[in-house]
Structure 1
Amino acid sequence: MDQLFTLRTFVAVARQGSFSGASRKLRISPSVATRAIAQLEERLGLALLVRTTRSVRLTERGQVYLERCQRLLEDLDEADRRVRGEDAEPRGELSLSAPIVFGRLHVLPLVQKLLAAHPALSIRLHLSDRNEHLVEEGIDAAVRLGDLKDSGLIALKVGTVRRVLVASPHYLKRKGTPQSPTELIRHELIAFENLDATNEWRFGEREKPVRVQPRLILNNADAAIAAADRGLGIARMLSYQVADAVLAGRLVLLLGAFAPPPVPVSVIYPGRRSASANVGAFVRTARSHFEEHPLLPVEAWRPARRDSRAK
């Protein structure tokens, strides 16, 4: 079996933590992946992976080998990109990552444009509210919301969004509308745990953080929005996540005067991917798309007016 193929299979199994996940990523059968790892371990004369019925994990030597293999494959991919040139036609697979709702609303249009413009390109879009490590997960580029740590990644800011509070008209009729952040302690609250790591909600610079005790905590933005829509309480979300519901009148923005600073939206990618024709095409398309269709600030939202004559 080709040695380069076995190395790519080993890296995929290690990253995915399973043979089935690696086989789906590489588009091969699990039996082929299993045989490739077995041949690799036989050639090296040592075990790289510890297999259980539920998971696959690296041995100590496997971890060292993984780091070397990743560096080797990165160098090979970089050589391919450079020999093709930065202006080469995008081809092969481009792996992208984005938050679930943002990806559905704003990254899928980019994917549509890329696939239409580059027939030889295929795209794997992974939507998750967990921030994956790009290199370890084999991701070429990603969209990130929030301040970025100095990680050596290249970042292109494409817009901003805001943390907002929303509730349904039915809930506000039943419980009243809070006039200041301190009044939130008397309300039923819904928390989206991927947005706030603690139960301390922060607002404008002049406002003290409010310690809250949510009655409902969810790890999915769509579910949190649905809960607010059902009148279960006041939800803290990002503006783009609730724009449609607010504009349709299903949810109402609250405490806008106390809004915290905006949250940056960035396209990020490893510096070693800068010569990639695929990544370059995605970055250029993203920059152009968000220039033509900027993320609309909350202040510019214009809810549809209802006919006053309607009964």
Structure 2
Amino acid sequence: MDRLDAMGILLAVVENGSLSAASRQLKMPLATISRKVSELEAHLGAQLITRTNRKILLTETGRSYVEAAKEILSRVEEAERVAAGEYSAVKGDLTVAAPIVFGRLHVLPVIVDFLKVHPEVDMRLALGDRFSNLVDDHIDLALRIGHLPDSNLVATKIGAVRRVVYASPDYVARHGALTHPHQLADHDCITFENVTAAHVWRFLEDGRELTAPIRSRLIVNTAEAAVDAAIAGLGLTRVLSYQVAKPVAEGLLVPLLETFEHPSLPVQLVYLPQGLVPMKLRAFVDFAAPRLRAVLR
């Protein structure tokens, strides 16, 4: 039995939540997946997972073994990268995570230019508006907006953005400009549910937290949809400044209540601490940081 192969299959089962899902991901017959896991359990003399109709559950022994297997496979992968020269040359695979709008507008063009310069690098761009787990999601580098909950990450600051209320000039002409957050209760609002609450928005007044009730005429799950609805004159929306930079520059949206906003949020490139940073990662950070700083200036 190839124990490293069996460990990899077990991790795929755990990460995907079932034997069948792991089978689809690995493009391996379900019977083979089941047999490999059973052989590993027989070799160890311990049950690692409990199979149910819908999902698998790790036993206590299984949880300990999976954590150890992750560490072992990570070290093996690192050894292979060293042998392949990733620490002495810009080559190999690189996965970058970024928020959807910022990633599409700003990170993707940087990646395209980087790949043109470095033909031996292949990249994956994972776009999503929720913080990805760098370990579990196999992310080499992430662009994070906001203060870092994990201070162990290595961070390179590239700028800052603000969360501001915006409306179309037409909406302001029809309903009037706002001078205080409490006036929001009398207006139609468009909320981006991943970032703002649907019933209240929070501001600062004289250094104190201020909670303003709102009425959400429309709730969406992407910033782009919120911005488009605001441009169409449906109501007010509250998004990050970079998400509306173009429509603001074109006069399609105007900022409101800026004096009541919270301080700017830092934008950073982050990666896990490691003894020796692969050349591909160092090269991309050095390439991307000044270009991203320029768009956030």
Common fold by TM > 0.5: yes
Q: Which amino acid aligns with 1:169?
A: P
Alignment of structure 1 residues 169-184 onto 2, 5 Å? 169-184=169-184
Q: Which amino acid aligns with 1:128?
A: G
Q: Which of 214, 225, 228 is residue 226 of structure 1 equivalent to?
A: 228
Q: 1:16 to 1:156 in 2, by over 3 A?
A: farther
Of stretches 154-163 and 51-60 in structure 1, the one that deviates more from structure 2 is 51-60
Q: Which amino acid aligns with 2:280?
A: N
**2 CA distance for matches of 1:276 and 1:110?**
19
What corresponds to 2:89 in structure 1? 88
The answer to whether the Cα contact below 8 Å between 1:94 and 1:123 also exists between their aligned partners in 2 is yes
Q: What TM-score, normalized by structure 1, do the two folds share? A: 0.81
The answer to whether the Cα contact below 8 Å between 1:221 and 1:241 also exists between their aligned partners in 2 is yes
Of stretches 238-247 and 279-288 in structure 1, the one that deviates more from structure 2 is 279-288
Q: 1:251 to 1:123 in 2, by over 3 A?
A: same
Q: 1:279 to 1:2 in 2, by over 3 A?
A: farther
Aligned length: 293
Alignment of structure 1 residues 71-110 onto 2, 5 Å? 71-82=71-82, 84=85, 86-91=87-92, 93-110=93-110
Q: Which amino acid aligns with 1:235?
A: T
Deviations 1:175-205 (A, max 9, x none): 2221222222221222223224683412465
**2 CA distance for matches of 1:271 and 1:14?**
25
Structure 1 unpaired stretches of 5+? 297-311
Kindly state the Cα deviation for residue 266 of structure 1 after the two structures are TM-superposed: 0.6
Kindly state the Cα deviation for residue 164 of structure 1 after the two structures are TM-superposed: 1.1
The reply on whether 1:111 has 2:111 as its aligned counterpart is yes
Q: 1:204 to 1:70 in 2, by over 3 A?
A: farther
Kindly state the Cα deviation for residue 127 of structure 1 after the two structures are TM-superposed: 0.9
What corresponds to 1:306 in structure 2? none
SS of aligned partner of 1:257: helix
**2 CA distance for matches of 1:9 and 1:205?**
57
SS of aligned partner of 1:159: strand
The answer to whether the Cα contact below 8 Å between 1:15 and 1:137 also exists between their aligned partners in 2 is no
The answer to whether the Cα contact below 8 Å between 2:184 and 2:214 also exists between their aligned partners in 1 is no
**1 CA distance for matches of 2:207 and 2:232?**
32
SS of aligned partner of 1:184: helix
What corresponds to 2:67 in structure 1? 67
Of stretches 203-212 and 110-119 in structure 1, the one that deviates more from structure 2 is 203-212
Q: 1:163 to 1:69 in 2, by over 3 A?
A: same
Q: Which of 278, 281, 289 is residue 279 of structure 1 equivalent to?
A: 281
The reply on whether 1:242 has 2:239 as its aligned counterpart is no
Q: Which amino acid aligns with 2:224?
A: D
**2 CA distance for matches of 1:129 and 1:21?**
25
Of stretches 131-140 and 38-47 in structure 1, the one that deviates more from structure 2 is 38-47
**1 CA distance for matches of 2:145 and 2:2?**
40
The answer to whether the Cα contact below 8 Å between 1:274 and 1:280 also exists between their aligned partners in 2 is no
Structure 2 unpaired stretches of 5+? none
Q: Which of 259, 266, 282 is residue 264 of structure 1 equivalent to?
A: 266
Q: Which amino acid aligns with 1:268?
A: V
Alignment RMSD (CA, Å) = 2.8
The answer to whether the Cα contact below 8 Å between 2:203 and 2:260 also exists between their aligned partners in 1 is no
Q: Which amino acid aligns with 1:146?
A: G
Alignment of structure 1 residues 1-311 onto 2, 5 Å? 2-18=2-18, 22=22, 28-29=27-28, 31=30, 36-51=36-51, 54-82=54-82, 84=85, 86-91=87-92, 93-196=93-196, 199-203=200-204, 206=207, 208-215=209-216, 216-272=218-274, 274-291=276-293, 293-296=294-297
**2 CA distance for matches of 1:169 and 1:231?**
8
Identity percentage of aligned residues: 41
The answer to whether the Cα contact below 8 Å between 1:78 and 1:273 also exists between their aligned partners in 2 is no
Deviations 1:88-111 (A, max 9, x none): 2321x2222111111111111222
Q: What TM-score, normalized by structure 2, do the two folds share? A: 0.85
The answer to whether the Cα contact below 8 Å between 2:169 and 2:254 also exists between their aligned partners in 1 is yes
Q: Which amino acid aligns with 2:188?
A: E
**1 CA distance for matches of 2:61 and 2:171?**
57
Deviations 1:212-243 (A, max 9, x none): 23413333212222232333321110011111
